[in-house]
Amino acid sequence: MVTEVRVKKNEPIEKAIRRFKKRCDKDNLVKEIKKRQHYIKPSERRRKRRIKNKKRSRD
Q: pLDDT digits over 2-58, tens only?
A: 788 899 999 999 999 999 999 988 888 888 888 889 889 999 999 999 999 999 988
State the amino acid at position 11 in one-letter form.
E
Residue 19 to residue 5: CA distance in whole angstroms? 7
- Domain range annotation of the chain: 13-58
Q: What region, left, alpha or beta, does residue 38 occupy, with left being phi > 0 and alpha being psi -120 to 50 degrees?
A: beta
CB 23 within 8 A of CB 1: no
Q: Does the predicted TM-score (pTM) go above 0.75?
A: no
